[in-house]
Amino acid sequence: MIKKPKGTKDILGREAKKWKYVERIVDEVMEKYHYSYIRTPLFESTELFHRGVGETSDIITKETYDFIDRGERKMTLRPEGTAGVVRSYLENKMYGDPMQPVKFYYNGTMYRYERPQAGRERELTQFGCELIGSDDPLTDAETISLAIQIYRILGLKDVVVHLNTLGDKESRETYRKELLDYFKPHITSLCDDCKERYLHNPLRILDCKVDGGSELFQNAPKTIDYLNKESKERFDKVCEYLDILEIPYTVDSSIVRGLDYYNHTVFEFEVSTESGKMAIGAGGRYNGLIGQLGGPQTPAIGFGSGIDRLLLALEYEEIELPVKEDIDLYLLYVNEEEKKYAIYLTQELRLNGFTVETESLNRSLKAQFKQADRLNAKFTIVLNSEELNEDEVTIKNTKTKEEEKVQLDALIYYLDENLMDDEFECSCKDDECHHHED
């Protein structure tokens, strides 16, 4: 039997409904912030990611899925969303659009060849946004706020925003030199990856997963101590605007992000779980990337968040999403004439917005009732030729067991009225939960 590749999974059943619910919330919030949806190719020229993400990043050196296509072109399955959006921005000459800044959001599959673990597969789904064309610190705060709103609506309350700044080019270069001087006497004690990072991108040493918690790393120079005046003032503005938006945050100098294109504001969203702390999203400002890819120097900021990890965090917090696991009505019948009418009525009710099923396996009436139970039908109707001749049906409320005769031309109104009060009861039992407002 052929099985799915390692690091991938099938998403189906109740799990798929959770995914669709999260995606709907993302769509709704992004639209409120006036972001337009963008869909970029699943694979792009390898050069895009090497130039955009960075030749020395772990993603490029260890994790990308690269291949040669039949035209002998070097291609890569996208490992993240930003580079593709920026490529589209440049290719479509959006920098000439008078409607600035340009605001896009995406929701798609990414690929990274790494050791599969809970919430971190080789095939992952990530949503995110990119705001291109503004350098105002307001947009930094707003981007962080947007992500927090999505998390809160889904039920996550205790999301910690870890905030840092890398400063401008001058500040970053000053800090880079200081970091080289600090780690130079200890280079032999660094892991093999960090020895390589020391030569090509010393900021990445602070991302070390092997020795990151050691005293040597804890006492390393902090980016915030090497900011020039302009960078410091800019970061202070970001913090001020977050305070206005009532977004709690903690300044964390260990946040440097793993991609080369970041400068100024960088951030991560973290939740505490039973197995420890877990990052569910991250982002930052990348004012140099568009120029680096051949376009005009253009400021930009964005974030990305993995749906796999987000759902895992919701599971740890025992937050039950209000996914629909029932149907409105199940139509039962016995003979061929009743079946024909069931076909017609099912279609009519579906076109009027109801979730309706009917029998398709020619089972007995008893077996049909069992199927209605399996589908958690809120109402059932046993079509009866005599009643149909009178243009009426008997509808049963499966919860109360009450039955009522309804004229066929009033059936839609009856269902509208009786389904209106059937609201989801959130299992979190928290009156402040946004699910109660959904």
Instruction: Report how far residue 301's alpha carbon sits from residue 262's, in angstroms, rounded to the nearest whole number.
Output: 9
Token duo for residue 126: 């990530």
Task: List, as one string, the DSSP characters of 214-278.
Answer: SHHHHTSPPGGGG--HHHHHHHHHHHHHHHHTT---EE-TT---SSTT-EEEEEEEEEEETTEEE
Q: Tell me if the pTM is above 0.95.
A: no
Q: Are 379 and 331 in contact (CB under 8 A)?
A: no
Coil vs helix vs strand at 368: helix
Cα dihedral 31, 34, 39, 40 in deg (nearest 10): -150
Task: List, as one string, the DSSP characters of 62-126.
Answer: II-EEEE-TTS-EEEE-S-SHHHHHHHHHHTTGGG-SS-SEEEEEEEEEE--S--BTTB-SEEEE
Q: Are 174 and 181 in contact (CB under 8 A)?
A: no
Query: What are the average pLDDT values for consecutive 10-residue runs of the chain, which has 438 residues?
Result: 95 96 98 98 94 67 89 96 96 95 97 86 96 98 98 94 94 90 91 85 80 84 94 98 97 78 92 85 94 94 96 94 96 97 98 97 97 98 96 97 97 94 50 52
Instruction: Report how far residue 245's alpha carbon sits from residue 267's, in angstroms, rounded to the nearest whole number.
Output: 16
Instruction: Report how far residue 191's alpha carbon sits from residue 90's, in angstroms, rounded to the nearest whole number.
Output: 39
Instruction: Report how far residue 71's alpha carbon sits from residue 13's, in angstroms, rounded to the nearest whole number.
Output: 40
Q: Which fold has domain 327-420?
A: Rossmann fold (3.40.50)
* 128: β partners: 106, 304
Q: Are 183 and 190 in contact (CB under 8 A)?
A: yes
Query: For the segment 302-348, what is each residue's pLDDT rounded down to a tens digit?
Result: 999 999 999 999 999 999 999 999 999 999 999 999 999 999 999 99
Instruction: Report how far residue 391's alpha carbon sits from residue 406's, in angstroms, rounded to the nearest whole number.
Output: 9
- The boundaries of every CATH 3.30.930.10 domain in the chain are 13-168+228-316
Instruction: Report how far residue 352's alpha carbon sits from residue 6's, in angstroms, rounded to the nearest whole number.
Output: 43
Query: For the segment 9-22, what is each residue's pLDDT rounded down to a tens digit?
Result: 999 999 999 999 99
Residues ≥6 apart with Cβ < 8 Å to 138: 241
- The boundaries of every CATH 3.40.50.800 domain in the chain are 327-420
Token duo for residue 131: 């705001």
Helix ranges, 11-61 (H):
13-32, 46-52, 58
Instruction: Report how far residue 179's alpha carbon sits from residue 187's, in angstroms, rounded to the nearest whole number.
Output: 12
CB neighbourhood size of 181 (10 A): 11
Coil vs helix vs strand at 282: strand
Cα dihedral 113, 12, 3, 76 in deg (nearest 10): -30
Q: Are 54 and 256 in contact (CB under 8 A)?
A: no
Q: Are 182 and 205 in contact (CB under 8 A)?
A: no
Instruction: Report how far residue 115's alpha carbon sits from residue 356's, in angstroms, rounded to the nearest whole number.
Output: 43
Task: State the first-to-last Cα distance of the chain, in angstroms, to the nearest integer.
Answer: 43
Burial class (CB in 10 A: 0-12, 13-18, 19+), 8: middle
Q: Are 28 and 59 in contact (CB under 8 A)?
A: no
Q: Are 290 and 241 in contact (CB under 8 A)?
A: no
Q: How far is CA 249 from CA 131, 241, 246, 252, in A?
A: 21, 11, 9, 9
Which CATH number applies to 13-168+228-316? 3.30.930.10
Q: How many residues does the chain have?
A: 438
Distance of CA 171 to the CA centre of its chain: 32
Coil vs helix vs strand at 182: helix
